[in-house]
Structures are given as structure tokens and as C-alpha cells.
Structure 1
Amino acid sequence: MSRISKQAGQLRKMWSGFQSARALFTANNYRVFDHLAKQKTSDQLAKDIGADKRATEILLDALT
């Protein structure tokens, strides 16, 4: 494997870690886990946290 390929792989790993951490940070800020103590749809959760429906779906997908 070339040096550039190795560096690209390392960069992808760092970026993936950042994305995961950011998703957790955002979920924590919106208290998503508190709201999910009871089972809810993404629509219900979006209303509860005052967020856009599609953005909530994207966040939930990132957390799975």
C-alpha cells in the first residue's frame, strides 16, 4: 500500500470518529436519549425536541 493510500485511510478513520462524536454530542444537547426512554417515532421525537423531521431522521440514522 502506498504512503498516500495509508494517509487517506487514516484521514477517513479520523473523519468517521469526528462524525460519530458529533452525532453523540448533538443527541446529548437535544436530550434525545431522555426523550427515547419511551418508544417513539422519529416524527414524535422531532416534535418533542423542536427539530426538523428530516434532520432528526438523519441524526437517528447516524446513531445506529
Structure 2
Amino acid sequence: MNMQIENNFSYHAPKPGQPEIYTAIREKAKELAYLIDEKAPNSREKSLAMTKLEEAVMWANAAVARN
């Protein structure tokens, strides 16, 4: 059995304090998203920046949940 696979593909119920961490991560990312939206011209690059920001939030939250 590969414990990394087991951990990565399992549900992780929030532990005390984790929902607040998820909220803080999302709020900071939202600030950056608004800055990018305001300053970057509409373009493929802007779309990619927004997508990568969403991915960063997802992976940061996964780090909190999995570890």
C-alpha cells in the first residue's frame, strides 16, 4: 500500500482551525486576483494568471488538509 496515494485520494475532514486558514488563503488570493484584473490587459496571459492563482489556492488548501 502506498501511503502517499492513500493520503492524496482520501477525504480530509477539516480539523479545528483549518477553515479559518482556508478563508485567509482565499482572501489573500482574491486581493491579488483583483489587482491582476485591474492592472493586466485582457489577454491569454491574464487568463492564465487567474487560472494559476486558482490552482495555487487549491494546492495551498490541499497542503493544509493533507498534512
TM-score bin (small chain) = 0.3 to 0.5
Report the structure number with the largest CA radius of gyration: 1
Normalization by structure 2: what TM-score?
A: 0.38
Normalization by structure 1: what TM-score?
A: 0.39
